[in-house]
Structure 1
Amino acid sequence: MSRLRRTLTATMTLAVACTTLTGCFDESSPHDAVRDFLVGWQSGDYPTAAARTDGDQAAVRKALSDVKLQLDAASFRFRIKSIALDGDVSRAEFSAEVDLGENNPLWVYDGTLPLHLVDGLWKVRWSPSVLHPQLKDGQRFAVDLDPNPRQPVVDRSGEPLQSDQVLYVAGVVPSQLGAQAEEVVKRLSTVTGFAHDRLLSRIMSSPPGEFVPLATFGRQRYLLTKPKLDAIPQISIQEQPQPFAPEAPKDLVGRVSALTPETEQKLGGPQRAGDSVGQSGLQRAYQDYLTGSTQTRVVILDQSGREVARLKEWPGRKNQSVKTTIDRAVQAAAETALTGTATSALVAVDKTTGEIRAVATKGLNQEKDALAGKFPAGTAFSIVAADALVKAGVRTDLRLSCPAERTVGGARFVEAGQVAGQVGGVSPTFKDNFAKGCVTALASLARRVDAAALERSAKQFGIGQPWRLPLRSSSGSLPELRSDADKARAIAGQNVQVSPLAMALVAAAAGSGTWRPPVLVTNPTSPGPTTETVAAPAVQPVPVDPAVRTALTAMMRAGATGTPAQAGRGRVYGVIAPAGDEGSRQRWFVGWQGDLAVAVLARSYDPAAVAGSFFSAVRSGS
């Protein structure tokens, strides 16, 4: 639980705690002193708490205030366990809950309040042991922290998908500040924007001989701030390399920033495990995994700063790298293939596993568009429609004319490409029209299949399936089909929306014989609690009907033959299709070669040429 949330909880429950501490006491008893002391300590009303002790009032007030600083505590809560009375002396047993923040459990310990009568009034007999049974004169609390550096996001072979970036950490050694701590903190707060009390607590709670990081800067911000930092002689700067600079696919890997006052406030307290915050992509989704939680020890120090007692220790949660399915060589091939394009996206998946091997874009965002985009499927959806049509008995050698225009159920379709005329007085086949993406011929098949069959096929090829990734993604959508016109538009992909990722999985299903949900991260198996998305539900693979797969293999082989997608060696299977109606300048290539299935969406550029370049680059790099 974050510091901010716990502080609010403590504030809301304080009234309840006070009522509990007050309601069971009688007048003229030690209960009054116990109540006022603990409630004053809990609420920060140190004068009231000090007045119920027999110690020097100023010294007690300072001791209580220092404890909060020394522990860097968000809140204290107390509960009375028992009060024993023996003449003019008494003894109260209480339990304390101290919220240290830092995402650690509460520190819970038992304490004792000795009381005696002073001029007829019950007073707590003051000594440091009132604060904790093991605390003695001349000693103080401290919180010893052992943060871990941020771990990287890695590719499928374990190589980092980001390079080191130097961070500049401003900090102090508390023992070197002396009486200047307040002034140093005041000046640093003005420079950085971090709250004065938070910086002071961080210094006061740390072992005095150790470097205490107070603010972290990226290079640009550090250079702008450096003159002001240099003007504070007690501040020293340490350079720390951290895996911050993302490599391709940059949008998916995500950006990381040093902690700022704004992110500290949002997250609720100093994130000392690396002092870094994932801003986007997997860096944000797996923030807690990559940073872990800080190993924390509550200790007692003597006047020389030597540890004399260890009161509590939390080992913290070990941070770990996030392993993706990205293949560096395949990603490089995808980046190369998009050279020369202006607006394009390419997603490549392993056709037998659904693992994402590469995501590349030009003029688009890899997450928002390539994974989560919602684009018209165009006649690329005929791959899915073919599943329903073949199951309905439509043969691939069925003769279909490909006129320039056709109306189906009142819906008008226009073939924007070259019209496939008759050869020797014979119309082209379903297979021919599929390969050429003839929208008028494909739309004419609407009456040969019912709406439910089309909807089932769409689901079996993943369209609209509830799979999720750690990042935003879209499996596409198919509207309710109420008429022949709706079915014709669906076969032509005009009322179907898909992402490039969804279409790459469609190609993978045709190529492997089984549709599988996508996989981007293999370890850990689910995002951390900071992500806004959820782990993938159990969406099961769906086998493709063998007869359908045979038909699709032949049709998609014909679709790629003679196109730029077939550049170089090896067989390529695919379909080229406009994305949307006849006025669309976006086009698809959806297909596979070898183990890789790919979907390319390009505007004002031949997607088959992109696919051909990609397959050639993959072969060259293998």
Structure 2
Amino acid sequence: MRSRAVLTLIIVVLAVIGAGLYVLVRPTGAESRPVAGPEETATAYLAAWEGSDIGAMSRLVADTPADFAERHLAFSRDLDIESLDLIPGTLRRHGGQVAELPFQGVRGIRDLGAWPFASTLRLVRRDGRWKVLWTPETLHPALKDGGRIRLKEVPGPAVELVTRSGTRFPRDSGAESYLGMLGADLEGGGSGYALEAVRTDGTVQELAAFAPPSARRVRTTFSRPVQAAAARALDGVDSPAAIVAVKADTGEVLALADRLGGELGGQGAIRGLYPPGSTFKVVTAAALLSRGLTPDSRVSCPATYTPPNGRPFTNAGGHAAPGTTTLTGAFAVSCNTTFAEQSVRLLSAGGLVDAAELFGFNKDIEGPGVCGTVKPHGNADELGADAIGQNSVVASPLCMALVTAAVQDGSWRQPVMTGRRGKG
């Protein structure tokens, strides 16, 4: 009996000792949770970061910066980030107190796409727990030495201008300066964007680029064969000259070429104002017809005409028509004296400026270019000179092309250089 009792006592003591050992090894309550290793801490941090749980992130950081939350919010806000995917790599330990976890990330930028990056979580053991050693470099390696990352708009390619039939212009079309002007006035294919790291010393490094859409192709009204003919017509011309071809029933410009040097950016045919001379007699003839003359009206074409108290007007080469001729005949030989005399006789009270404005003078051109101006005359001399395209009258080659187009079609039209308008 005694031996059995002793044996029973020994078993009880061992059981008690075993229970005591269990209590020592496995305490109860909150302290029973195992301490997370560096890999678990890193994984938890990345998961919280993906979920934008800044509170959970900050609890896993050693010495959390005061602006930790604002840095993350501002980073996402300024770069318009709408998603974040993080893929952990393989943990590397450096002794028992330090570790690092490289990871890959992809940020989604609204309307632009994916922005991949790679960084490293550095971890340290503090007070028996693994924590993330956070620096701005954790957000992106480009922030290692401070600075910021910005999203910068980059202008897209200029529009590609083509002929009215959709073909490209030849390199030596003769219209290069005009096409450059038109392209600059049109919106291109949209903007691209670049992500740039701006360092504290002001230097900039491009981190990623989001290409703009391809160049937008825009048809002009230019005709390739007409443009080629205009350019050829000026080959070998040394004196100032310009050619503007216009489709009369629409106002579409079919060709532009000039030998005006670099004047007005090489766009003298549409921006330059010059005395139109006898070409203005088209406008003067219209004014005279509105005052009662007809194409068959008999008029004189003397070698010299002198207005009352004025200076004499003469014809080129001393030309004179014996007796009288028709208004049509005087127009055909560009008789200065006829148009000066008839204007003084019929337009002294006004009418020349009104007629000119029907042909685009003193008006704004809706597109690129200018037309011309005519001022009210102060005396007969000024009126006679205005009537033959001198004195106050100036016009662009474009303006005079529109004048002749208006005569052919019966209506003056604004010029068009891109797109199409009206018939044809």
Of 331, 335, 354, which residue of structure 2 is paired with 1:456?
A: 354
* Structure-1 separation of matches of 2:336 and 2:78: 71
TM-score (norm 1): 0.40
Q: Contact conserved, 1:345 with 1:364, CA < 8 A, in 2?
A: no
Q: Once the 2 structures are TM-superposed, how far is the Cα of residue 411 of structure 1 from its aligned partner?
A: 3.5
Matched position secondary structure for 1:347: strand
Q: Once the 2 structures are TM-superposed, how far is the Cα of residue 391 of structure 1 from its aligned partner?
A: 1.6
Q: Once the 2 structures are TM-superposed, how far is the Cα of residue 516 of structure 1 from its aligned partner?
A: 0.7
Q: Which residue of 2 aligns with 1:290?
A: 188
Q: Compared with structure 1, are the counterparts of its residues 138 and 248 closer, same or farther at alpha carbon in structure 2 (3 Å cutoff)?
A: closer
Q: Contact conserved, 1:70 with 1:143, CA < 8 A, in 2?
A: no
Q: Contact conserved, 1:406 with 1:413, CA < 8 A, in 2?
A: yes
* Structure-2 separation of matches of 1:344 and 1:453: 30
Q: Which residue of 2 aligns with 1:335?
A: 231
Q: Once the 2 structures are TM-superposed, how far is the Cα of residue 72 of structure 1 from its aligned partner?
A: 7.7
Q: Compared with structure 1, are the counterparts of its residues 295 and 484 closer, same or farther at alpha carbon in structure 2 (3 Å cutoff)?
A: same
- Find out whether 1:412 has 2:308 as its counterpart: no
* Structure-1 separation of matches of 2:294 and 2:141: 92
State the AA in 2 paired with 1:459: E
- Find out whether 1:359 has 2:256 as its counterpart: yes
Matched position secondary structure for 1:508: helix
Q: Contact conserved, 2:156 with 2:192, CA < 8 A, in 1?
A: yes
Q: Contact conserved, 1:322 with 1:521, CA < 8 A, in 2?
A: yes
Q: Compared with structure 1, are the counterparts of its residues 438 and 143 closer, same or farther at alpha carbon in structure 2 (3 Å cutoff)?
A: closer
Q: Which residue of 2 aligns with 1:501?
A: 398
Matched position secondary structure for 1:389: helix
State the AA in 2 paired with 1:383: V
Q: Which residue of 1 aligns with 2:333?
A: 436
Matched position secondary structure for 1:465: coil
Of 364, 385, 403, which residue of structure 2 is paired with 1:466?
A: 364
Q: Which residue of 1 aligns with 2:95?
A: none
* Structure-1 separation of matches of 2:165 and 2:62: 67
* Structure-1 separation of matches of 2:151 and 2:362: 51
Q: Contact conserved, 1:464 with 1:477, CA < 8 A, in 2?
A: yes
Structure-to-structure mapping, 1:276-355, within 5 angstroms:
281-286=181-186, 289-294=187-192, 320-342=216-238, 343-355=240-252
State the AA in 2 paired with 1:251: S
* Structure-1 separation of matches of 2:140 and 2:280: 79
Q: Which residue of 2 aligns with 1:252?
A: 178
- Find out whether 1:401 has 2:300 as its counterpart: yes
Map Cα deviations across residues 145-169 of structure 1 (whole Å, 9 max, x no partner): 9996554111111222366xxxxxx
The percentage of aligned residue pairs carrying the same residue is 30
- Find out whether 1:158 has 2:166 as its counterpart: yes
* Structure-1 separation of matches of 2:162 and 2:154: 24
Q: Compared with structure 1, are the counterparts of its residues 251 and 69 closer, same or farther at alpha carbon in structure 2 (3 Å cutoff)?
A: farther
Q: Which residue of 2 aligns with 1:618?
A: none
Q: Which runs of 5+ in 2 are unaligned?
A: 1-60, 81-111, 113-131, 144-148, 197-209
* Structure-1 separation of matches of 2:300 and 2:141: 97
The two structures, once aligned, show a CA RMSD in angstroms of: 4.6
Structure-to-structure mapping, 1:87-236, within 5 angstroms:
150-161=158-169
Moved more, 499-508 or 411-420: 411-420
Q: Which residue of 1 aligns with 2:378?
A: 482
Q: Compared with structure 1, are the counterparts of its residues 142 and 383 closer, same or farther at alpha carbon in structure 2 (3 Å cutoff)?
A: closer
Q: Compared with structure 1, are the counterparts of its residues 142 and 380 closer, same or farther at alpha carbon in structure 2 (3 Å cutoff)?
A: closer
Q: Compared with structure 1, are the counterparts of its residues 445 and 320 closer, same or farther at alpha carbon in structure 2 (3 Å cutoff)?
A: same
Structure of greater Rg? 2
- Find out whether 1:55 has 2:63 as its counterpart: yes
Matched position secondary structure for 1:509: helix
Q: Once the 2 structures are TM-superposed, how far is the Cα of residue 249 of structure 1 from its aligned partner?
A: 0.5
TM-score (norm 2): 0.57
Matched position secondary structure for 2:390: coil
Q: Which runs of 5+ in 1 are unaligned?
A: 1-52, 74-103, 105-125, 164-245, 255-280, 299-313, 526-540, 542-594, 597-622
Q: Compared with structure 1, are the counterparts of its residues 443 and 297 closer, same or farther at alpha carbon in structure 2 (3 Å cutoff)?
A: same
